[in-house]
Amino acid sequence: MLRRWLFADQLGPHFLDDRHQPLLLIESKAVFRRRAFHRQKAHLVLSALRHRAAELGDQALHLRAETYREALVRVREPVEVNHPTSRRARDLVRSLGRVTVLPPRGFVTAIEDFTAWADERRGTIRLDDFYRYARRHHRVLLDGDEPVGGRWSLDAENRQPPPKRSGPLDVPPPPMPEEDDIDAEVRHDLDRWAAEGIRFVGRDGPRLFPATRTEATTRLHHFLRHRLPKFGPYENAMVTTDPFMAHSLLSSSFNLGLLDPMEAIRGAEEAYHTGHAPLPSVEGFVRQLLGWRDFVWHLYWYFEVGHRRSDGVGARRSVPSWFADLDADSVRARCLSDVLAGVRDRGWVHHTPRLMVLNNYAMQRGWRPSELVDWFHRSFVDGYEWAMTANVVGMSQYADLGQMSTKPYAASGEYVNRVSDYCGGCPYDPKGRHGENACPYTGGYWVFLDRTRERLPSTARMARSLRQLDQLDDLPVIKEQERRRGSQAP
């Protein structure tokens, strides 16, 4: 009988077909030698794999080896595997000769369906269009053939600033996992590996993200019942005292394969139909999961291999060490310091800090997209290569000059001030363009527009920003100030 190999991101029941099929789980130490992963990410992945091995008992052969190849030498039966999620792993399984590769799982839309959809668009590939297609194709939140409520996107209702009252959002916190003996063993092994010279980044800490299906479904059901109603309005807001807001904190669970995205999508739909959550929140969540998550997965395979190394806006500076090493204490800018500390302490911050604080700063300063891809992959508990092409290269850095997005996500400190409570307690002034207290995001924004104007899209919105740029009589002073600041910690 064929033995099914489960990679460490294929751990849920939807990666199996037969309760009695022999299984294979492999822990490769070389994976951790290759890159300096966040310590909590290394812990989560190993903990999830070992918990799955313990659950499966005799059904699974659990091997620990230096490399996958070395482990496979010890397996006698022919092996099959669901399509891996990275090119490197796909090339490995193909090169082994004796491994049958099955179609991918863990995403909603099939690769052939996406390819047919994208080929029809002849190069104009946009999330909104794909999202409509996916809603219709999988019959999600539909009334006949039209969207429930009459509109495909309720984003306009979902852009509220943080509540005026300071302090955490008024939602019950997500249930946290309890560590057990397997976690203790993982921590011990990682300490040993670190002593042997394997490098990690970030701080160790209690495990915050689910490592088993039970932990993941508990968090999902709690989210659908108690947190989803507030998800929409504050989706984009950032609050210093509340890193989680009403986000689901489930990305690592989907990406480890503990949860099937469709079960969460149907659960959110049900929460709407039973009156537990309003439509804008439900639609907002479905757009993230059915829209964005599937979209970025497919673009990873659809775009050429070279897309990862795109550098359309001419970003040639190296990522500085204070950023790479998560040295939040060296940063005075309150937004960036808080977000970098969140990555250091948890390996997770929500979408807006990733896009508008970390990436916005990197793009303004001209840091190399390929180095950022590596940094995001290593530093986040949910970081996977398939998520990088679109999220980092395409959306955040605009390095592919608009193959998947209509504009670069560049913004000044005034934007950060609108969507967060950061600026009040910051030594910089979000409106200040130059001078000692000038916000580095505001100065950086104008310099970015000036530097890249020839490569920016010719949309009405961009034209408005460029007209404002042309009216700045202090541009030379701002440029000189930002040249002096360079990539130092602001």
Residues in contact with ligand FAD by the rule CB under 6 A: 247-251, 254-255, 285, 288-289, 292-293, 296, 350-351, 354-355, 359, 376, 380, 382-384, 387, 391-392, 396
Q: Which sign, positive or negative, has the C-alpha torsion 69, 71, 75, 80?
A: negative
Report in angstroms how near the CB of residue 212 gets to ligand SF4 at its nearest: 38
**Rg for the chain (alpha carbons), in Å?**
23
- Cβ–Cβ under 8 Å, residues 84 and 7: yes
Q: What is the DSSP string of 72-87?
A: HHT--S-EEEE--SSH
For ligand FAD, the closer CB: 183 or 382: 382
Tell me which of ligand SF4, ligand FAD, none is bound by residue 152, counting a contact when its beta carbon lies within the kind-specific cut-off of 5 to 8 angstroms.
Answer: none
For ligand FAD, the closer CB: 82 or 248: 248
Decide if residue 448 touches ligand SF4 (CB under 6 A).
no
Decide if residue 313 touches ligand SF4 (CB under 6 A).
no
- Rule CB under 6 A: which of 145-174 touch ligand SF4? none
CA distance 286 to 292: 9
Report in angstroms how near the CB of residue 282 gets to ligand FAD at its nearest: 12
**C-alpha distance across the termini of the chain, in Å:** 60
Tell me which of ligand SF4, ligand FAD, none is bound by residue 293, counting a contact when its beta carbon lies within the kind-specific cut-off of 5 to 8 angstroms.
Answer: ligand FAD
Report in angstroms how near the CB of residue 485 gets to ligand SF4 at its nearest: 12
What residues pair up with 190 in beta bridges, in sequence order? none
Site size with ligand SF4, rule: CB under 6 A: 14
CA distance 99 to 75: 11
Decide if residue 430 touches ligand SF4 (CB under 6 A).
yes
- Cβ–Cβ under 8 Å, residues 308 and 389: yes
Decide if residue 239 touches ligand SF4 (CB under 6 A).
no
For ligand FAD, the closer CB: 100 or 214: 214
Report in angstroms how near the CB of residue 253 gets to ligand FAD at its nearest: 8
Decide if residue 489 touches ligand SF4 (CB under 6 A).
no
For ligand FAD, the closer CB: 46 or 127: 127
Q: Give the range of 139-147, 290-298, 301-309, 410-418 binding ligand SF4 by CB under 6 A.
A: 410-418
Decide if residue 422 touches ligand SF4 (CB under 6 A).
yes
Long-range pairs for 184-187: beta carbons < 8 A, 24 or more residues apart? 185/50, 186/43, 186/46, 186/47, 186/50, 187/43
For ligand SF4, the closer CB: 353 or 383: 353
For ligand SF4, the closer CB: 10 or 412: 412
Q: Which residue is nearest to ligand SF4 (CB)?
A: 426
Tell me which of ligand FAD, ligand SF4, none is bound by residue 382, counting a contact when its beta carbon lies within the kind-specific cut-off of 5 to 8 angstroms.
Answer: ligand FAD
Backbone φ and ψ of 386, nearest 5°: -60, -25
Tell me which of ligand SF4, ligand FAD, none is bound by residue 7, counting a contact when its beta carbon lies within the kind-specific cut-off of 5 to 8 angstroms.
Answer: none
CA distance 288 to 370: 24
Backbone φ and ψ of 446, nearest 5°: -65, -40
Q: Give the range of 118-126, 163-171, 283-291, 420-428 binding ligand SF4 by CB under 6 A.
A: 420-428
- Cβ–Cβ under 8 Å, residues 234 and 280: no
- Cβ–Cβ under 8 Å, residues 25 and 6: yes
For ligand FAD, the closer CB: 23 or 387: 387
Q: Give the range of 23-31, 345-353, 438-446, 474-482 binding ligand SF4 by CB under 6 A.
A: 438-446
Report in angstroms how near the CB of residue 359 gets to ligand FAD at its nearest: 5
For ligand FAD, the closer CB: 237 or 447: 237
From 38, 40, 31, select the one nearest 378 (Cα to Cα). 38
For ligand SF4, the closer CB: 232 or 490: 490
From 480, 397, 482, select the one nearest 439 (Cα to Cα). 482
Q: To 5 degrees, how large is the angle CA 158–CA 163–CA 166?
A: 150
- CB burial readout 280-308, b (16+ within 10 A) else e: bbbbbbbbbbbbbbbbbbbbbbbbeeebb
Tell me which of ligand FAD, ligand SF4, none is bound by residue 413, counting a contact when its beta carbon lies within the kind-specific cut-off of 5 to 8 angstroms.
Answer: ligand SF4
Report in angstroms how near the CB of residue 230 gets to ligand FAD at its nearest: 11
Decide if residue 446 touches ligand SF4 (CB under 6 A).
no
Backbone φ and ψ of 147, nearest 5°: -70, 140
Q: Which stretch of DSSP H or E encloses residue 28?
A: strand 23-28
The residue ranges that bind ligand SF4 (CB under 6 A) are 333-335, 413, 416-417, 422-423, 426, 428, 430, 439-441
